[in-house]
Structure 1
Amino acid sequence: MAPTLILLLLSQVVLFSSVTSKKVCGRPPVTEGIDETTLKRVYEVGEELTLTCEQGYLPSMPTPGRITCTATGEWTPSNLACSRKSASPLARGRTEAPYKSVLNFTCDDGYVMIGANESRCLHDGSWSSQPPLCKAVNCPLPTPPRDGKIVHDRPVSGSNTIYGQTWTYECNSPKAPSHERGSCMADGTVTEPPECRDVSCTIPTNIKNGFITFAVMRPHGYKEKVKYACNEHYTLVGEPEIQCQNTGNWSSKPVCKAPCTVGIKRGRIFYNARKIWISDLKPNRILHGEHVAFYCLNRAERCGYPVATTCNDGNLPIPECFVEPGKVEYNLRSKNLPSEITMCTSLPPASPANTTRPA
């Protein structure tokens, strides 16, 4: 009896060992885009598996990738790679977008969206929705001021205006509106109408180095104008006319800028498209805003080059590189001056020597 029992136990041990020593493969490792929906948890040795890409992905090879479960419990290598499909550009100037990409849309202030606010790149390379439209906000027509009217910048029709449209408020003369401009705003409302009121500006005054060309010296009403001019050789900067505004103040007056004197005794300059010896510049006067070039020497190349400067309200800076010649050099060897020798084909590198100094 005992030998039979021992033999039976040994048989069970051998049978158990032979069953548990058999290798199997688990689920194969997969990368992004490989279809996992048909994969099992365990595979037998020798069992083959065909890997495919899921919807929205493109395979790296024309034929399906096959792998095999080996006796070691490992899978043979897979050469399959899946890349996301791209959707065509949804709008001009956009690039392709990969599968699962999401585009979000917003409208600028003053515009309302008509359509979906997002679109997704689908597995077939199409978009879930087309771009929405952004439509301008509508506003009601503005109300004219009491004792006045509205002048629209552009013609309007119907009972609405759209965001961004503007207009001017006008009052019956001689009154002035408390504010002159109105618009259709982003929140769908319009500017409140102004109040029409009496406005007066003080007696206009002269400007420095200038004068009023014609005006009755009295207070002026809304939108009345006064015109200015400058003394001889002064340059007027700004609008020549000022206007009485709805605030009771004049608009900005112009200013008269002074001419400049070229502050050298010897040398040649380039002015009004020609070379001039400074002694021949009569009168020695450059108007505000005009340009003058002085000639400097490039010592390395032994050539001359012009450096421009500008008259600014009586001040004409002289370039730092300009060296005024002495009397002997100017009178006896003027042909050797930078203005008279060969001109440089290119300007020298910028350096502190090429800046300007006060006149």
Structure 2
Amino acid sequence: MAPTLVLLLLSQVALYTTVTSKKVCGRPSVTDGIDELALKRVYEVGEEVGLTCEQGYLPSTATPRRMTCTATGAWTQSDLTCSPKMCPIPKPLQPLAKGRTEAPFKSVLNFTCDDGYVMQGANESRCLHDGTWSNQPPLCKAVNCPIPRPPRDGKIVHDRQVTGTNTIFGQGWTYECNSPKAPSYERGSCKADGSVPEPPVCQEVSCPIPARIPNGFITFAVMRPHGYKEKVKYACNEHYVLDGEAEIQCKNTGNWSSQPVCRAPCTVGIKRGRIFYNARKLWIADLKPNRVLHGEHVAFYCLNKADRCGYPVASTCNDGILPLPECFEEPGKVVYTLKPKTLPSEIAMCTASPPASPTSPARSA
């Protein structure tokens, strides 16, 4: 019996070796978009697989591509690629798409509305397999508010005409009281949560005697306390420039609106040299009187030593201060008197000015 048992065992080993030595192919590796639902886990040598694209993808070739399981257990190569179909981004949304005009299959657009607006429609849309969107972009409709109540002893003046019983988010209005009273606050609007403010209280308001301003005066006004919305007007002394609103008004807080300021003129702080002012090239001695008004520009001439050419650098009068450019060098008496044609203002001008230089310490009027 022993020899028979050995022979049987050897036969089983030989059979196992014969079966397992035969090569097979596993499920082929495919790229995104290729349909994998019909693929098996194991294939015999010589079997073929026809590759197609999933729904929502476009094949790179019009004819089907096949792969074959080879005797080595490897698959032949396929050049099929599947590209996702594209959905055109709606034109109203393109400014938010950073230059893109299309989105690929399976993309999702999420929609939100700004505060004060209510969404009408779906809050998302998906790019479908046929290149269309599952939902149209929604509309964002402004929140409605009730018509505001006017103050007692007063009225409301809407910024634009209101019809019906509602206003919409963002619309505003002004509260007015019967003279001489003033509202505790003047403006109201339809809020993002659909509410409107309670009406203000109408109360007596008085502003103190308006203050004088340096180098200026009040025109045609009686120096007394003033009521709500009363106005006074300021002007400046000669050669001073008014900076701000000339007219101020008594506000509902009992304070005046911001007063203007009278800005001082400047003196051009050089004794020798030429300047460019009021569209004219002037020797400083010819600037009579030596006065530049606030906000006016004066150009000084500097020397480009490397190229031996001149170039202008502008400075601006600011409330009595006219800075001199750092590049400006005031000529000495001898050069200014005997060799004026050698000054930066008189020689050839540079074709390109050097970068603007800082200014030197300012000189005041």
Q: Specify the TM-score bucket, using the shorter chain as the normaliser.
A: over 0.9
Measure the CA separation in 2 of the matches of 1:306 and 1:25. 84
Report the AA paired with residue 83 of structure 1.
S
- Are 2:184 and 1:186 aligned? no
Secondary structure of the residue that 1:242 maps to in structure 2?
Answer: strand
Matching residue of 1:308? 314
Matching residue of 1:133? 139
Matches of residues 85-234 of structure 1 in structure 2 within 5 Å?
85-92=85-92, 93=94, 94=97, 95=100, 96-234=102-240
- Are 2:19 and 1:19 aligned? yes
Measure the CA separation in 1 of the matches of 2:6 and 2:269. 128
Give the Å deviation of 1:13.
Answer: 5.0
Task: Give a deviation string over 1:302-358, Cα, whole Å, max 9, x none.
Answer: 2111111011111110111111111121111111111111111110244x5x54432
Measure the CA separation in 1 of the matches of 2:355 and 2:290. 31
Secondary structure of the residue that 1:167 maps to in structure 2?
Answer: strand
Report the AA paired with residue 297 of structure 2.
H
Matches of residues 50-89 of structure 1 in structure 2 within 5 Å?
50-89=50-89
Secondary structure of the residue that 2:234 maps to in structure 1?
Answer: strand
Change (3 A) 1:267 1:7: closer
Give the Å deviation of 1:156.
Answer: 1.0
Corresponding residue pairs, total: 357
Task: Give a deviation string over 1:82-108, Cα, whole Å, max 9, x none.
Answer: 222211122343421111111111111
TM-score (norm 1): 0.94
Unaligned 5+ runs, structure 2: none
Secondary structure of the residue that 1:19 maps to in structure 2?
Answer: helix
Report the AA paired with residue 286 of structure 2.
D
Report the AA paired with residue 164 of structure 2.
G
Measure the CA separation in 1 of the matches of 2:4 and 2:220. 141
Give the Å deviation of 1:128.
Answer: 0.8
Give the Å deviation of 1:2.
Answer: 8.6
Paired residues of 2:50 and 2:64 also in contact (CA < 8 A)? yes
Matching residue of 2:47? 47
Give the Å deviation of 1:4.
Answer: 7.9
Change (3 A) 1:231 1:9: closer
Measure the CA separation in 2 of the matches of 1:259 and 1:2. 129
Secondary structure of the residue that 2:334 maps to in structure 1?
Answer: helix
Task: Give a deviation string over 1:209-246, Cα, whole Å, max 9, x none.
Answer: 11111211211100011111111111111111111100
Give the stretch that moved more between structures: 329-338 or 91-100. Answer: 91-100
Change (3 A) 1:277 1:6: closer
Give the Å deviation of 1:10.
Answer: 5.9
Give the Å deviation of 1:277.
Answer: 1.1
- Are 2:270 and 1:256 aligned? no
TM-score (norm 2): 0.93
Measure the CA separation in 2 of the matches of 1:194 and 1:131. 41
Change (3 A) 1:283 1:74: same
Measure the CA separation in 2 of the matches of 1:340 and 1:263. 20
Matches of residues 290-305 of structure 1 in structure 2 within 5 Å?
290-305=296-311
RMSD: 1.8
Change (3 A) 1:327 1:71: same
Matching residue of 1:357? 361
Paired residues of 2:26 and 2:43 also in contact (CA < 8 A)? yes
Change (3 A) 1:320 1:6: closer
Secondary structure of the residue that 2:341 maps to in structure 1?
Answer: helix
Matching residue of 1:32? 32
